[in-house]
Chains A and B, each alone.
Chain A
């Protein structure tokens, strides 16, 4: 039934775009639940209820009239992250690492002024960065101080860990490592490296950079495989809990490892991309089928699901 040129992909269990949209997202993710993950403020509240740690929230600016509250929000803070609640792909995010007399210094060493940031917030509020141009909110939260484990393979920015969760089972994972090409952003489209993580051991395996397999970080020159991800069990557990948290059956959970607080949930994505398959050199479809073939009662609690995943995938 499968036409010849596609047979190789089919046998490798690769999940294609059409199949992901029709059979996985449409079947597992009811549209009505999307708002839970499209807005980071909502996601944060839900995470708090499920005891999933997120970066500390300093404040939310929801109305144009509240923009002047911004200064009081950051008054006591030396560093912070300013984000649109509905942003995607890391757009509209400003990371401030310190305050000086001259102004605010960003992660990429630009100096910004308070009026500039206020202007940026009004941009956010009018929906410039939101997925469908709707009105948005601006989030001010704690700046992540990344754990040093990936320091040797990170060019600026914060590496983040993506776990794809199917029916609450973490089925595939990768860490996204910023490069000079990606401008310090952990965005694969932008040129970041994606390194697959073995579910069982928590060790990085292969890595993909712009659809090519790489072994070393292009900027730092250090090997990207064989790195042991700390808090691995906890990370998988946090990802697995996203099912109870949102009800969505197919999720991409994005997490960071903070030097002091450990793994924190950054955001959830109801339409996670397919590039993770290349970072792992493994097909998602194969693992989805394995989950579907397992008996129902295997997956009653997050703990059971993580245990099953680490044993079987």
Chain B
């Protein structure tokens, strides 16, 4: 008897945990979806002036990679046209057409989420080629001079190259090889020197243009070099020829040597980059992401259903949790409640009336209904007609409440129409029967038990953290089912039985 239930419960719980784990590990779902997270808003504003011909303005836009996710973006192009094109790894926004005479205000805005651990490409990129314009004989010379460095590991090579680029021949005691090397590189700017050297020692490298991730406004982008050190791209500050610690974050715009801003037949009379940091709940972030993903579990996600139905499911998904709670309170603690679902439905009704008003209205209608039921008893009506009289009575009470609420300006009284009138009717009947058969005390105890369970259930289903968690991971229902099965197999004593059978505890041994 015991085994299949236990097995079923464990299987359900395991399935639920597996799906959740799959979502977190493989699909990158947030572990704590309700927790707020930071998102960055990147904004570019520019004033484009035409110069006789129609101008063409190209802006490299942030792309969806390296652990950064673009949640939403918007473009302002005024009277001009906007096109998006892809160039190698870059996304480029192209504004074209005729600007207004006094200049066209163009803008781009993106909300970007940076994940702490971007799943960067673990494949080593190809060795990069030399920058354009370096002569072949020069390359041969440089490669010959840097030959002894190539035997070192990737990161040491980078460090050595950086050291040389930083100090030149100064620190090496006029090593004739280094002097020659320094001479061979004469005439190139710092970034090109670095790229040539890295290429010579076979370290993949690239130039990037972008902005630093700090809140504020910048007038222009800044360039940097990225070198591949075996596992990821290392950020190199070309001014100081140093690897920048990974704690500092940057938003790359253009990768591979292209300028982030290109313009022909026109000029920008104003440009500014602005970064702001905002707090956004993770599930919001997720909503944005899932609604654009095409992976199976994302396509079959509750985020995909229309928003007006989503709200319903946020609540509905917690009803099983309420039912589990009732099972716990009844079978393990020993609460007495009217039926199984009445407290859950009461809790749902409290959502529109609020807790205090909800409880008050419930108590009042049951009290009035009980009086009416006593009176009906004297009329000796048959079962079905009697219940229908009670339903009419309950609805009449709603009507009065709504009208009084309207006069007093109490919305909670008018929300009464959403209360489950069937449940109220049944409760009045049950209350009456319990009073008749077991006395007023038991009836009041049962009412108190129901109210307590309803309040606890209400607090649970109103808990947003839980709502969001179940909404993002609806498979948690299976987990709840597993627990419900386990409660169903609890054959031990109820806590209330400690009181009921207390005479055995004192003298029964």
Asked whether any CB of chain B lies closer than 8 Å to the CB of A298, the reply is no
Residues of B within 8 A of A16 (CB): 491-494, 497
Question: Which residue of chain A has the shortest Cβ distance to B387 in the bound complex?
Answer: A133
Asked whether any CB of chain A lies closer than 8 Å to the CB of B27, the reply is no
A213 to B501 CA separation, bound complex (whole angstroms): 12
- The B interface is mostly helix, strand or loop, or mixed, namely helix
Beta-carbon contacts under 8 Å, A1-30 to B? 2-3, 5-6, 8-12, 14, 16-19, 22-23, 27
Residues of B within 8 A of A213 (CB): 503
> Given A9-B497, A18-B331, A277-B501, are A133 and B492 also a contact pair (CB < 8 Å)?
no
Is there an interface contact between A17 and B383, defined as CB atoms closer than 8 Å?
Answer: no
Is there an interface contact between B491 and A126, defined as CB atoms closer than 8 Å?
Answer: no
Contact of A9 among B436, B490, B493 (CB under 8 A): B493
Beta-carbon contacts under 8 Å, A128-154 to B? 128, 133
Closest CB-CB distance, B1 to chain A, in whole Å? 7
Is there an interface contact between A11 and B509, defined as CB atoms closer than 8 Å?
Answer: yes
Contact of A18 among B383, B442, B492 (CB under 8 A): B492
Q: Could you say which of A8, A277, A283 has the most chain B C-beta atoms within 10 Å of its C-beta?
A: A8
A119 to B382 CA separation, bound complex (whole angstroms): 10
Is there an interface contact between A8 and B504, defined as CB atoms closer than 8 Å?
Answer: yes
Closest CB-CB distance, B429 to chain A, in whole Å? 10
Q: Could you say which of B1, B494, B505 has the most chain A C-beta atoms within 10 Å of its C-beta?
A: B505
Is there an interface contact between A211 and B500, defined as CB atoms closer than 8 Å?
Answer: yes
Residues of B within 8 A of A133 (CB): 383
> Given A9-B493, A17-B497, A189-B437, are A126 and B384 also a contact pair (CB < 8 Å)?
yes
A212 to B489 CA separation, bound complex (whole angstroms): 31
A22 to B494 CA separation, bound complex (whole angstroms): 13
A59 to B91 CA separation, bound complex (whole angstroms): 92
A299 to B439 CA separation, bound complex (whole angstroms): 41
A184 to B50 CA separation, bound complex (whole angstroms): 105
- Mark each residue of chain B from 74 to 100: 1 if its CB lies under 8 Å from any CB of chain A, else 0: 000000000000000000000000000
Residues of A within 8 A of B500 (CB): 211, 274
Is there an interface contact between B382 and A122, defined as CB atoms closer than 8 Å?
Answer: yes
> Given A11-B508, A12-B504, A128-B383, are A17 and B436 also a contact pair (CB < 8 Å)?
no
Asked whether any CB of chain A lies closer than 8 Å to the CB of B438, the reply is yes
Asked whether any CB of chain A lies closer than 8 Å to the CB of B53, the reply is no
Is there an interface contact between A18 and B438, defined as CB atoms closer than 8 Å?
Answer: no
Closest CB-CB distance, A21 to chain B, in whole Å? 8
Question: Which residue of chain A has the shortest Cβ distance to B429 in the bound complex?
Answer: A133
Asked whether any CB of chain B lies closer than 8 Å to the CB of A89, the reply is yes
Residues of A within 8 A of B101 (CB): none
Asked whether any CB of chain A lies closer than 8 Å to the CB of B152, the reply is no
Question: Which residue of chain B has the shortest Cβ distance to A18 in the bound complex?
Answer: B491
A12 to B490 CA separation, bound complex (whole angstroms): 19
Contact of A281 among B490, B493, B503 (CB under 8 A): B503
Question: Which residue of chain A has the shortest Cβ distance to B382 in the bound complex?
Answer: A126
- Mark each residue of chain B from 473 to 509: 1 if its CB lies under 8 Å from any CB of chain A, else 0: 0000000000000001111111001101101110111
Is there an interface contact between B505 and A189, defined as CB atoms closer than 8 Å?
Answer: no
A12 to B503 CA separation, bound complex (whole angstroms): 10
How many A-B Cβ pairs are below 8 Å?
Answer: 91
Residues of A within 8 A of B383 (CB): 126-128, 133
Question: Which residue of chain A has the shortest Cβ distance to B331 in the bound complex?
Answer: A18
Closest CB-CB distance, B509 to chain A, in whole Å? 6
A6 to B508 CA separation, bound complex (whole angstroms): 12
Contact of A14 among B384, B490, B493, B507 (CB under 8 A): B493
Residues of B within 8 A of A9 (CB): 493, 497-498, 501, 504-505, 508
A51 to B504 CA separation, bound complex (whole angstroms): 39
Asked whether any CB of chain B lies closer than 8 Å to the CB of A190, the reply is yes
Residues of B within 8 A of A127 (CB): 383
A167 to B476 CA separation, bound complex (whole angstroms): 42
A274 to B493 CA separation, bound complex (whole angstroms): 12
Asked whether any CB of chain A lies closer than 8 Å to the CB of B295, the reply is no
Asked whether any CB of chain B lies closer than 8 Å to the CB of A91, the reply is yes
A213 to B384 CA separation, bound complex (whole angstroms): 43
Asked whether any CB of chain A lies closer than 8 Å to the CB of B3, the reply is no
Asked whether any CB of chain B lies closer than 8 Å to the CB of A278, the reply is yes
Asked whether any CB of chain A lies closer than 8 Å to the CB of B117, the reply is no
Asked whether any CB of chain A lies closer than 8 Å to the CB of B380, the reply is yes
Asked whether any CB of chain B lies closer than 8 Å to the CB of A123, the reply is yes
Beta-carbon contacts under 8 Å, B213-267 to A? none
Closest CB-CB distance, B494 to chain A, in whole Å? 6
Is there an interface contact between A14 and B498, defined as CB atoms closer than 8 Å?
Answer: no
Residues of A within 8 A of B384 (CB): 126
A257 to B508 CA separation, bound complex (whole angstroms): 32
Residues of B within 8 A of A3 (CB): 492
Closest CB-CB distance, B484 to chain A, in whole Å? 14
Contact of B490 among A18, A89, A274 (CB under 8 A): A18
Closest CB-CB distance, B389 to chain A, in whole Å? 14
Question: Which residue of chain A has the shortest Cβ distance to B504 in the bound complex?
Answer: A12
Q: Could you say which of A11, A18, A189, A283 has the most chain B C-beta atoms within 10 Å of its C-beta?
A: A18
Residues of B within 8 A of A277 (CB): 501, 504
- Mark each residue of chain A from 182 to 207: 1 if its CB lies under 8 Å from any CB of chain B, else 0: 00000001110000000000000000
A277 to B503 CA separation, bound complex (whole angstroms): 10
Beta-carbon contacts under 8 Å, B178-210 to A? none
Beta-carbon contacts under 8 Å, B398-449 to A? 436-439, 442
A133 to B430 CA separation, bound complex (whole angstroms): 12
> Given A123-B382, A133-B383, A213-B503, are A5 and B494 also a contact pair (CB < 8 Å)?
no
Closest CB-CB distance, A61 to chain B, in whole Å? 15
Is there an interface contact between A5 and B498, defined as CB atoms closer than 8 Å?
Answer: yes
A124 to B489 CA separation, bound complex (whole angstroms): 37
Closest CB-CB distance, B287 to chain A, in whole Å? 43
> Given A9-B504, A16-B492, A127-B383, are A189 and B498 also a contact pair (CB < 8 Å)?
no
A278 to B508 CA separation, bound complex (whole angstroms): 11
Beta-carbon contacts under 8 Å, B334-376 to A? 334
Is there an interface contact between B491 and A23, defined as CB atoms closer than 8 Å?
Answer: yes
Is there an interface contact between A8 and B494, defined as CB atoms closer than 8 Å?
Answer: no
Beta-carbon contacts under 8 Å, A73-114 to B? 89, 91
> Given A8-B509, A119-B380, A123-B380, are A14 and B437 also a contact pair (CB < 8 Å)?
no
Residue contacts A-B, CB under 8 angstroms, 10 given: A9-B493, A14-B497, A23-B1, A91-B437, A119-B380, A126-B383, A127-B383, A190-B439, A191-B439, A281-B508
13 more A-B residue pairs beyond the given contacts A8-B504, A11-B509, A23-B1, with a C-beta to C-beta distance below 8 A: A6-B492, A9-B493, A14-B497, A14-B501, A18-B492, A19-B491, A22-B1, A22-B488, A27-B1, A91-B436, A126-B383, A274-B500, A281-B508
B residues whose Cβ falls under 8 Å from a Cβ of A: 1, 331, 334, 380, 382-384, 436-439, 442, 488-494, 497-498, 500-501, 503-505, 507-509
A residues whose Cβ falls under 8 Å from a Cβ of B: 2-3, 5-6, 8-12, 14, 16-19, 22-23, 27, 89, 91, 119, 122-123, 126-128, 133, 189-191, 211, 213, 274, 277-278, 281, 283
| 9 closest cross-chain pairs (CB), A and B | A12-B508, A8-B505, A16-B493, A12-B504, A19-B491, A22-B491, A126-B382, A189-B438, A6-B493
